[in-house]
Structure 1
């Protein structure tokens, strides 16, 4: 579900306005949980983001909202120095349930090593933050070579996340990797309503973006209510199966009858959705 949207003018980077976007998304999430009396049952709220959102303002916004954060860190010289202090025996091997495609190496990765170390971000500044630096490393086959003695040594590629997650290392690392699910949402929106942008007018695009979020959330809710096959289906599939359907409407006196296709494979899912959304007449 989409909790907040933000449209920026010009060629703006992802970090511009990120703190206010995070604050709005967290406030919406808390309001939804409170409305359903599920705030305590929901557990921890974790803001997961990629390296474009790694900034003092975003982390400060998470702290003000009293939520956890898990943000990808750019591997700069300072982070490399911190990674170099991790003992060799601190690395733990993990295996992915499903292989992950690595664009840089152009191959699937199924195994990696993870470790963690305490790290102070933005050190020396007013809002410096000390939390966990969770590091994942995979062999870089493009650079693995033979040293002067003829022995093969491994060159590692590192991915790091800065987090105050209370979960154990394996859980925290796996949860952070889950932030990539937003890319699936982007793909679904680009395949649908976002294809109509831009209009050339900022206010019109901003209103259209708000409508996109509403339509996306309603579509996802409809899929969940329709049943298990559509609960995890793509938005385009839900539109094709449950929304954009051929039907005929007839009126008799004050009664309205919808004639749906015969032998329609998704009729039971549609009827379940209709029964939940519209109670039968008295």
Structure 2
């Protein structure tokens, strides 16, 4: 049996003003805020044009969008759907975030790198992942692509390797201590 005269759904969005499409975003971004993401961006990121105003709020929005699954500037619209406007104060439009990012140069990327390093230190201070480990710790984060063969696989896409796949990050923590 087949349904006649129908078109497959091309996209779906959460527009109910009482629902969050990405409810897991709230605790993640709350932790990021506790670790100082906004203060770090305000202190260490300087974009000297009018598009560079409020870098702390724009970096927060970009990180939230990536955590919510945004793969492009247009996908940042996920932050403006449903009840997101009630959970997060005044989410930026994707075009505003795109204009902000277009002002970046190599120096701005280095500033973001400094913010990320300090944010990682803040995460270490607030989470028990490495509790009880004394001495140096090496964290190795590797990008990996898991090849898929069907074009309908959710989240699959072509990256720099030109292979259709799912992108994953594999993390290894190495210490001098032996845990038994």
The TM-score with structure 2 as length reference comes to 0.28
Of Structure 1 and Structure 2, the greater strand share is in 1
Give the number of the structure whose alpha-carbon radius of gyration is greater. Answer: 1
Considering Cα pairs closer than 8 Å and 6+ residues apart, tell me whether 1 or 2 has the greater RCO. 2
